[in-house]
Structure 1
Amino acid sequence: MSLAIFDLDNTLLSCDSDHAWGEFLVEQGAVDGEAYRRANDQYLRDYRAGELDIMAYLSMALKPLAEHSEEQLNAWHQQFMACKIEPHVLPRGEELLAWHRQRGDFLLIVTATNRFITGPIASRLGVDDLIAIEAERENGRYTGRVEGVPSYREGKVTRVRQWLEQNPTLTLDDAWFYSDSINDRYLLEEVATPVAVDPDEELEKLARERGWRVLSLRTPSA
């Protein structure tokens, strides 16, 4: 059994689920609309430029989880899945997951989006496990703080290696990793088979230099 690792946003999905959740909260009136939207858009630009201050972003992004009940959050998430996520599930991404599943590979999503947002998405995609940013909880409620190492940039490598300690039958020596973002170069450099999926400009340049495979999941199947 080999390990097949997937980024989520703009890889298996044709959107950024973290940014989409922020937009959804604005639409629900759950946050200060215009100010939140401006900040959410700026953080997305920073991410794409490889300049995101992850802790500053998480301070904003996790705050709404602490301000609303779990019942309300879960009700919103069901709506979010239907209107913001399902239309962006890439059929070719599902085909790729199915191909690895048929090979008997272990399917792992590693994302810089928090588990509240991505847990149901990972379940929808039928993967075996998920590494995501962990939102701290106390007494059954979110605190608005992050727990542990954020799975972002080098943090993805740290979190995957921690996960491998608990899953010693799997290794990066024969692993695949699929991602669209230059932010994931650190984990791409660690695996046996790095694949740039509909990559941003910087990742495409790096992939060409390194001889990595470049794949599109957004074009129709041949």
Structure 2
Amino acid sequence: MNPPGQHRSHPGPPSDLRRRSTLAGEAAAASAEVEVALSVPVDPTAAAFFDVDNTVMQGASIFHLAKGLYKRKFFRTSDILGAMYKQAWFRIVGVEDPEHIADARNSALSFIAGHTVTELEELGEEIFDEVMAHRIWPGTRALAQRHLDEGQRVWLITAAPIEIASIIARRLGLTGALGTVAEHQDGVYTGRLVGELLHGPAKAAAVRAIAEHQELDLSRCSAYSDSINDLPMLSLVGDPVAINPDPALRAHARDHGWQVRDYRTGRKAARIGLLTGAVGGAAAGGIAAALAARNRPHA
């Protein structure tokens, strides 16, 4: 509760949100630099960027991770109820209210403070084997492999935490991953994000940063996603592809002559995919901000 005479603070103006999105993108790109150093592509000016949830993997990776962490008593139900409400509001209602986003971020981050990066990474490896590996879409995996075979780098780019994104990329033999970045000190989470979630405009900022660092020609690059929220990223590249698209992205792709690939089968599968993005994402979305990591420089 605020002290008498004081009003609840509100997020900054749109320019501040844009700044935080840019910061999130740059932080994600910087954290991925070590991955780049490990390989020299045959085709150095082209790359492919893949969203994860419902694009590479059936369902929401953060939802699968959250379930696994809950089973291991990483957090309590009461820790995330408030964050779930805020995420549900802007995922289902479709209004990304800046105040709700800020509240969701702050409440979601509170319960990971004190957990170690090593702890999350080790649990993430276990959870990938248990519930994620068999949910990889074979068709999307084949597309990623095609880019690798052509000598291009292939990146995952997701709002999920960088730890789990990196695990998925490594297990699939990809170049690396860009994910939501939160700070830690001496290997322990502080409970604060670096910038915003790697979502929407922040993904586009991350792609731009990678392109600048690696001297990529974006007109020769490809991007893949299921969600209209990734339109800023898809619009950056010369080869945007809609994978298992939501209705809005399908319509946009059709109107602009983009490729569409749908690996779901039947109306039931399509409904499941949409529900996972809206309800499943809302249930675990409050944790997405919390379970990210790489450290932010301190003064």
TM-score (norm 2): 0.65
Question: What is the total number of aligned residue pairs between the two structures?
Answer: 218
- Aligned residue type for 2:230: D
Q: Decide which of 6, 25, 48 is 1:4's aligned counterpart.
A: 48
| 1:122 to 1:45, Cα distance in 2 relative to 1, 3 A | farther
Alignment of 1:126 with 2:170, yes or no, is no
| 1:66 to 1:140, Cα distance in 2 relative to 1, 3 A | same
| 1:81 to 1:215, Cα distance in 2 relative to 1, 3 A | same
Once the two structures are TM-superposed, the CA of residue 127 in structure 1 deviates from its matched residue by 1.3
Two-structure CA RMSD over aligned residues (Å): 2.4
Once the two structures are TM-superposed, the CA of residue 149 in structure 1 deviates from its matched residue by 5.0
Alignment of 1:216 with 2:262, yes or no, is yes
Deviates more, 1:46-55 or 1:143-152: 46-55
Q: 2:247, 2:162 → 1: CA distance?
A: 28
Q: 1:48, 1:210 → 2: CA distance?
A: 26
- Aligned residue type for 2:91: Y
What's the counterpart of residue 18 of structure 2? Answer: none
- Match of 2:113, SS state, is helix
Q: Decide which of 38, 41, 47 is 2:91's aligned counterpart.
A: 47
- Name structure 2 gaps, 5 residues minimum: 1-42, 266-299
Once the two structures are TM-superposed, the CA of residue 48 in structure 1 deviates from its matched residue by 6.1
What's the counterpart of residue 161 of structure 1? Answer: 208
1:1-222 matches, within 5 Å, as 1=43, 2-33=46-77, 36=80, 39-40=83-84, 43=87, 46-47=90-91, 50-52=94-96, 54-148=101-195, 150-168=197-215, 170-218=216-264
Once the two structures are TM-superposed, the CA of residue 172 in structure 1 deviates from its matched residue by 0.9
CA contact under 8 A between 1:92 and 1:218: conserved in structure 2?
Answer: no
Once the two structures are TM-superposed, the CA of residue 10 in structure 1 deviates from its matched residue by 0.9
Instruction: Decide which structure has the larger Cα Rg and report it.
Output: 2
- Match of 1:107, SS state, is strand
CA contact under 8 A between 2:83 and 2:108: conserved in structure 1?
Answer: no
Q: 1:41, 1:35 → 2: CA distance?
A: 12
Residues 139-174 of structure 1 deviation map (CA, whole Å, 9 limit, x = unaligned): 221111111454211111112112222111x12111
| 1:121 to 1:50, Cα distance in 2 relative to 1, 3 A | farther
Once the two structures are TM-superposed, the CA of residue 12 in structure 1 deviates from its matched residue by 0.6
TM-score (norm 1): 0.86
Q: Which has the higher contact order (CA 8 A, sep 6+)?
A: 2
- Aligned residue type for 1:74: E
Q: 2:131, 2:88 → 1: CA distance?
A: 17
Deviates more, 1:120-129 or 1:61-70: 61-70
Deviates more, 1:11-20 or 1:32-41: 32-41
